[in-house]
Amino acid sequence: MSSFINDPEFVYGHPEAIADPYEEIRAIRYATTGRGFGSKPILAKQMVKNNFSILKAAQHTECSSAKYFLNKIAEVTGTKTAM
């Protein structure tokens, strides 16, 4: 998220507590950069372009769903978790 909004110091304390993540990200992006994006697919492309990583998200102490996602992928594929 920090590279997506061009703020290396940005930290979101409780990302899982957001009722509407898309709208929250949209508001943060607009407030910090003055720019928005048109749709969820465009948001996804821009986040990937700005180096979004599920591994990095899973390292956030308050992002248990990312950890859960990685663990389930590992379970289904029979591989070790990356966490």
Q: Across the chain, where does the E strand assignment appear?
A: none
Query: Does one domain contain both 72 and 40?
Result: no
How far is CA 37 from each of CA 29, 30, 46, 60, rounded to the nearest angstrom?
9, 9, 9, 25
Tell me how many domains the chain contains: 2
Query: What whole-number distance in Å separates Cα of residue 23 and Cα of residue 25?
Result: 6
Query: Each residue of 48-76: pLDDT tens digit?
Result: 888 888 998 899 888 999 999 999 999 99
The pTM of the full predicted model, rounded to 2 decimals, is: 0.70
Do 44 and 70 fall into the same domain?
Answer: no
pLDDT for position 83: 62
How many residues comprise the chain? 83
Residue keyed to tokens 């979101």: 12
pLDDT band at 81 (very low <50, low <70, confident <90, very high): low
Claim to verify: residue 42 and residue 75 sit in the same structural domain: no
pLDDT of residue 51: 87
Alpha carbon distance 43, 81 (integer Å): 27
